[in-house]
Amino acid sequence: EYIRLMHGLTDLEEELASKLKLKRVVIIPGDSEEDQAARRELGRAAAGVLSQYLGNNSTIAVSGGSTMAVVAEAVQASAAAVTVVPARGGLGEEVEFQANTVASVMAAKLGGRYRMLHIPDGLSEKSLEIILENDSNMRMVADMIRHADILIHGIGQAREMAVRRNMSEAAVAEILATGAVGEALGHYCSLQGEIVYVTNSVGLRLDELESIGLVVAVAGGSDKAQAIVAVTSAGGQSVLVTDEAAARRVRTII
């Protein structure tokens, strides 16, 4: 607390919360992109926010990504019976970054249960529909995701995420040409919060988060400042957990 006051982080938290129209912003000191200790601290702060809102029989939907992997590791055992589900499936990423993986790690730490979404990547809307129609387990998980009490997710830079998902150079250029700077849940957003491209998948949509009780975004590092503004401007977000490096840069662009 002393460190936060010393760095003026409490004022910055309030300023960003009001400008980004969020319930709450939590800023940890330092730069989580440069410093492993700060990175773990970001994870701990997000895990702390999560624990404050966990109720009995809560369903938590989680995204993938390296930040969320750190959050999952930081989570502590909960007395509440919770189930963790991936927020969205099949975004075309490495196993350790997948939401399924984060969900299973977080569930183990919480002492809760998890459900997975096994969806191949790159399916058409039509194929997804057919799978959902024919696979009752998948339908049930999709339903749990839609009714999640808490969503906790990462935010990434549009270019980095498009490249990480092995999109062709032409596809990456096309997405960037639409003005995309940030990405969350497979949704690419412009700085103004307009959703300009969506990866086909099953699960939560960034523009349909009103039914989720609490939406927590976790992202740090000054390079993610634009992405943070883009995704929080798209709406539906309640809490942002970030670091000082990102927060100070965000302040210069809002």
**Interaction site with ligand F6P (CB under 6 A):** 63-68, 91, 93, 97, 153-156, 161, 183-185
- Residue 85 near residue 60 (C-beta atoms within 8 A): yes
Instruction: Give, to the nearest 10 degrees, the angle between helix 225-233 and helix 244-253.
Output: 70
CB of 11 to ligand F6P, least distance (A): 27
Residue count of the chain: 254
CB of 231 to ligand F6P, least distance (A): 8
| Of 5 and 153, CB closest to ligand F6P | 153
| Of 58 and 157, CB closest to ligand F6P | 157
| Of 111 and 235, CB closest to ligand F6P | 235
CB of 112 to ligand F6P, least distance (A): 20
| Of 64 and 112, CB closest to ligand F6P | 64
User: Using CA atoms, how far apart are residues 6 and 26, in angstroms rounded to an integer?
Assistant: 15
CB of 89 to ligand F6P, least distance (A): 11
- Residue 241 near residue 45 (C-beta atoms within 8 A): yes
| Of 6 and 37, CB closest to ligand F6P | 37
User: Using CA atoms, how far apart are residues 11 and 66, in angstroms rounded to an integer?
Assistant: 28
**Three-state secondary structure call for residue 24:** strand
CB of 109 to ligand F6P, least distance (A): 18
Those residues with Cβ within 8 angstroms of residue 133's Cβ, 6 or more apart along the chain or in another chain = none
